[in-house]
Structure formats: C-alpha cells, structure tokens
Structure 1
Amino acid sequence: MLNDFHTAQAGGGYVFSYDSHETEAALAAKLEHWFSGKDPHAIVMDPAEKQALFGFYWAASMMSANSPCFTDIADPACRDDLTRWMTREMDDDPRFVRDYEAARTALGLPVLAPGSH
C-alpha cells in the first residue's frame, strides 16, 4: 500500500484513496492500528477499498517470506506470486473466506458476497 501511496502523492495512478495531507508515517500508523482489529474506523475508506486492502494483506500473508514482492513490487516474479494468491482469493479459497469472516467485524469489512471480489 505504501508503494501505491507514493505513486498517488507523485500524481500517478493509484488504487486506494488518500488524504492529500497524509504522510507515510501517519498512514503506516493508521494501517497498523486498523489491522490490529482495535478500531474498524482507523482508516477512512469506502467498503470496497477496505475489502481490496484486506485481499492484498491476505495474499501477502500467504506468500513465502522470500517472495520477490517483499523486495521489489515491480519485479515480474512478484506479479506472478501476487496474481496466484489474488486469483485464489477471487475464487473464494476457503482459507480466504475463513480469514475474511474472522476479521470482518474487527476491521469493519463489508459482507463478503461469493464471487464479488
């Protein structure tokens, strides 16, 4: 997400919405607080953005620690690794559905409709 944030701040295309006065440190703190499950409103995003953010988080949590995504998100091998896990998410992998439902209330995620992501 921080890569997306930097692209947005530089005027490029981005996936998530950001406050124009957001700093990297403030965003990182908000994300950490949100992912802790202590405050579903720690980040201000529409429900679809929260769902997408959780999807990226889940995919990253399923990758091996030596995935190229953790070194260089622009690496083509990262794209392959990320696509593999995002496809599983979109195909309603039971692990994704279980993890999403377990986090839904704590993170303020919308109800997961099969095939909607």
Structure 2
Amino acid sequence: MTSAPFRRLLAALTCAGALLPAGIVLGSTPPAGYASAPRAIDFVVAVASRDLAQARADRTHGLNYADDETEARLAAAIREWLTDGNDGSLHLAPADRMSLFALYWSAQQMPANSNCFQDPDDDGCAQELAHWMGAVRDDAPAFLAAYHRAERSLNLPSLPAPANRLQTGSP
C-alpha cells in the first residue's frame, strides 16, 4: 500500500505534467551546457521506480510506461538520459519527460540533507517537493533557464507558451 506522503509526491509530479499539453515525458560526461546531479538523479529514479510499481499493481500512477518496461530498465534509461543525454532507451512520452525534468530540477534545488534523498515517503519531503514543483508551475526564471539549457541535450520538447499552459487555482 502506498503511503499518503508518496501519493502527495506523485500528485506534485503529476501537477507538473498537467501544465504541459497532452502528448508532449547516471555516470559519465554531461551533455554540453548541462550538468547532472547524481543525488537528484537517484531521487528521480526512486520516484519513477515506485510509480512504475504502482502502475504494474493497477494503482494510481503519474507516468505512462511501455507494457514491457521493467524497474531496472527504467532506472538505467533515466540515468543514461540525465547524465549523457541519450534517450534511446527511455520509452516515455514527451510530457512524461517534461515531468521527470521538472522533478529533477526540483530535486536539484533541495539541500543535500533533504529528507527527500533519504525517504521520498517522508511528510517533509512531500512539502519540500511541493514547494519546488510550485516554482515550476509558476514559471520560475531559474527553472525556465535550466529547462532551456537542457532542452536540446536532453531532447526535451519546447515548453508551450504561458498562455497555452493549464493554470491551477481559482478561475
């Protein structure tokens, strides 16, 4: 059974994906103009692996996976993508890649002693992640700059114009 904090963590991840149009988803030298962060990569892998397990158990999950995707293959593909820019084994839709990058950027903003790096199910992690994913939703200049720097090297789709993004909150 998934804990409430992990559900909130995935909700934050899904919120980032909701900002993007439908149909748009470690180890060596980072792609030009882009620097990888191993701790943040490990966090993304942990969240995606847990999400895949949820999907395989027919429970609520945030990303869409190939029917034959395995945890080991997904983890290796994410690590290779975020460190080398090689997305050949990452079988995720562009919107899911955008969501993973938003999660990765958020993890990079967290302090090294963040509970998120020890236990993604921790209540403090859910709150901290929600803060940084909120910055993504609000088009924080630091996020937009990081996204644009990584866009080409990570084969990310272009961000939609702000007027075309879904807005959260009251009408």
Normalising by structure 1, we get a TM-score of 0.88
SS of alignment partner, residue 107 of structure 1 = coil
Offset from partner CA, 1:43-87 (integer Å, 9 cap, x none): 122221111110011101111122122222222211110011001
Please state how far the C-alpha of 1:114 moved relative to its aligned partner. 4.6
Given that 2:102 and 2:133 are in contact with CA atoms closer than 8 Å, whether structure 1 keeps it comes out as yes
Q: In percent, how many aligned pairs have the same letter?
A: 35
* Greater relative contact order (Cα < 8 A, sep 6+): 2
**Corresponding position of 1:2:** 49
**Corresponding position of 2:104:** 57
Question: In the alignment, residue 67 of structure 1 is paired with which amino acid?
Answer: S
Any runs of at least 4 consecutive aligned residues in structure 1 with deviations exceeding 4 A, and if so which? none
Structure 2: distance between partners of 1:78 and 1:18 = 25
| 1:18 aligns to 2:42 (yes or no) | no
Question: In the alignment, residue 2 of structure 1 is paired with which amino acid?
Answer: S
Given that 2:85 and 2:153 are in contact with CA atoms closer than 8 Å, whether structure 1 keeps it comes out as yes
Structure 2: distance between partners of 1:38 and 1:73 = 25
Normalising by structure 2, we get a TM-score of 0.62
SS of alignment partner, residue 106 of structure 1 = coil
